[in-house]
Amino acid sequence: MQPVKTSLFELFKIGPGPSSSHTIAPMRAGNDFLARCKALPTEDLRLAERIQVRLLGSLSATGKGHGSDRAALGGLLGHVPESCPADLLDRLAEPAEPYRIDLGAVTIPLSRTDVVFGAIHHKHPYSNTMLFRLHGGGRVLLEQEYYSVGGGFLQWKGWAEPETGSPLHPYSTMLELRASLAGSGLRLHDLIMRNEQAVTGRGEREIVEGLDQLVEVMLSAVDNGLNTEGVLPGSIGLNRKAPTLLLRSCEKGIRDRFLLELNSYAVAAAEENAAGHCVVTAPTAGASGVLPAVIKVMLDGFKLPRMAVRRGLMAAAAVGFLCKHNASIAGAEVGCQGEVGVASSMAAAMLAYGFGHDFRVAENAAEIALEHHLGLTCDPVDGLVQIPCIERNAMGAVKAYNAYLIAAAELPAHHVVDLDRAVHAMAETGRDMNTKYKETSRGGLAVSMVNC
C-alpha cells in the first residue's frame, strides 16, 4: 500500500459550509473547469454558448439543501473556497439571476438553472460525481467528470496522484506509524512535521503559521456562533441555540457547567457551518464543530499553551490521515461515522497528546472514540446540515473528551482494540450500509421527520 502523503493543509481546509463534499469540492470543480475553458483554442472559444453542470449521487439528493448548485456556480464565476465572500452562497440564491462568464475570446451567460440535479444512482466510480460541459456550435466543446471524494477533496476522470515529495518516515497504517516512531526515536508531532516538510517543501515556520491560522479560524467560528441568534437558513426554520446553551452554563449553581460549555462551543461552530459561513474541514465541514469546541476548552478552560494545541492538532491529523487513507471521511461513502466519528476520534487524540500523554494513549483515545461511532448513519433532514448534524457535533465533542478520560485512566497494556481495527471496521460497515443512509436524506431521521 502507498504511504500517507496527505498534507495537513489538505485535511484541514478553510472554506464555506455547510458541507465540504457539497460546497467546497463543487466550488473547486467549477473553478477548475473555468480554467480549462479559458485554456481552449480561440477558435473553439468563439463558438462557446453555455455551460451545463449535472450533479449526481448525494450531490443530487441533498444538493439543494447543501447549496451545491450555488457552490458550483460560484466556482464558475471565479471564486475559490478559501477566499470567497462569507455570504457568497446567499448572493447566488436567485435561480434565474443572470451572470456572465468572461472566457477571454467570448462572454457567455450563466445562471443556477444551468446546474441540473441528475441521477442519484449511477455507474460512475464515486457517489458524488459532477459532469461539466461547455456547449457551442451544436456540439460539446469541452467536458470534464469530477468526483467529490469527501472532506472537500476533489478528483476527476484521468486524475493521478499529484507529484509531491516523499515522506521521510512513511507509513500507511497505525502499525507502521508505531514502527516509524520506534525506529526514528521521534515524538509524533516531530514525525508529522518532518513528513509535512518533505511532502510539501514548506519550512517549519510556514507550517506553524498555517496551523495557527487554522486554529484562529476554528475559534472564530465558535465565537461567531456564540454571538449570533436567529433562525438558520433553509426550510426547517431551526433556531440557533448556542448562545442560550452558553448563557445557561453560566447560571449560578448549575451542575455540569463544563459539559454544557463544551456543547455550546460545538453547536456554535456547527451552526456557523449550517449558515454557510467560514469553517475548517476537520475532517469535513459537516463535522467542523468537534475540533474547534475541544480546542477552545483546551485553551480557555484548561489554559494549555498554544504549542500544546498545535502539537495536539498534528496528532489529530495523523488519525485523520489514517481514516481517510484506509477507509473514508465522506458521508456519501460510509455515513456519518466517517465525518463526526472521525472528527471525534481526531479530537480524542488531540486531547490526549495535548495534555502530554504519550502516543499510545493518544491512539487508544482515538480508537475508543471511533469505536463508539461505528454504524452512524448520515440522514440529514430535508438535505440540510442541521438535524441531526449540529447536535451530533456536540455529541462527538463530548465523546472525544470521555474517550480521552478512559484512555488516560486505563492501563495502556490492557487496551485490546487498536486503531487499525476500528478503521477497518468503519470501512466494512460503510460498504455494507444501505445507500439511503449515506447523505441522501432517504432514510432514518430524514424520513421519520417527514412522516411526522
DSSP letters of 342-374?
A: HHHHHHHHHHHHHTT--HHHHHHHHHHHHHTTT
Which range has the worst mean pLDDT, 131-135, 139-143, 275-279, 310-314?
Answer: 275-279
Distance, in Å, from the CA atom of 95 to the CA atom of 115, rounded to the nearest integer, reads 10
Q: What is the pLDDT of residues 9-54, one digit of tens each?
A: 999 999 999 988 999 999 999 999 999 999 999 999 999 999 999 9
Nine cell digits for residue 383: 438535505
Residue extent(s) of CATH 3.30.1330.90 domains in the chain? 19-156
Q: What interhelical angle do 419-432 and 174-184 show, nearest 10?
A: 160
> Of 95-99, 263-267, 410-414, 418-422, where does mean pLDDT reach its minimum?
95-99
Residue 293 has pLDDT above 60, yes or no: yes
- Name the percent of the chain lying above pLDDT 90: 86
> Residue 269: what pLDDT?
98
Strand ranges, E, within 75-204: 99-102, 107-110, 115-117, 129-136, 139-148, 154-156
**pLDDT at 451 exceeding the cut of 60:** no
Reported confidence tier of residue 64, pLDDT bands at 50, 70, 90: confident
Q: What is the pLDDT of residue 255?
A: 80
Collapsing DSSP to helix, strand or coil, 26 comes out as: helix
Determine the pLDDT at residue 300: 96
Q: How confident is the model at residue 450 (pLDDT cuts 50, 70, 90)?
A: low
Q: Give tens-digit pLDDT for 309-346.
A: 999 999 999 999 999 999 999 998 999 999 999 999 99
Cβ-defined contacts of 198-206 (< 8 Å, 24+): 198/165, 198/166, 198/167, 198/168, 199/5, 199/7, 199/164, 199/165, 199/166, 199/167, 200/7, 200/9, 200/164, 200/165, 201/165
pLDDT of residue 254: 79
- Cell match 455550546: residue? 264
Q: What is the pLDDT of residues 78-94, one digit of tens each?
A: 999 999 987 888 888 88
Q: Which three cell numbers stand for residue 76?
A: 464558475
The residue-averaged pLDDT of 214-218 equals 98
Q: Which one-letter DSSP state was computed for residue 297?
A: I
Q: How far apart are CA 48 and CA 30, in angstroms?
A: 16
The yes or no reply on domain 19-156 and CATH 3.30.1330.90 is yes
Q: Look at residue 244 and tell me whether its pLDDT is greater than 80.
A: yes
Mean pLDDT of the chain: 95
pLDDT at 227 over 80: yes
How do residues 389-443 score in pLDDT, each as one tens digit? 999 999 999 999 999 999 999 999 999 999 999 999 999 999 999 999 998 889 9
Contact between 385 and 19 under an 8 Å Cβ cutoff? The reply is yes
- The C-alpha atoms of residue 357 and residue 362 are separated, in whole angstroms, by 7
User: Interior CA angle at 371 toward 150 and 324, to 5°?
Assistant: 25
**What was the pLDDT predicted at 452?**
44
Distance CA 80, CA 240 (A): 28
Show Cβ contacts of residue 166 under 8 Å, excluding neighbours closer than 6 positions: 3, 5, 198, 199
Chain-centre distance of CA 415, in angstroms?
A: 29
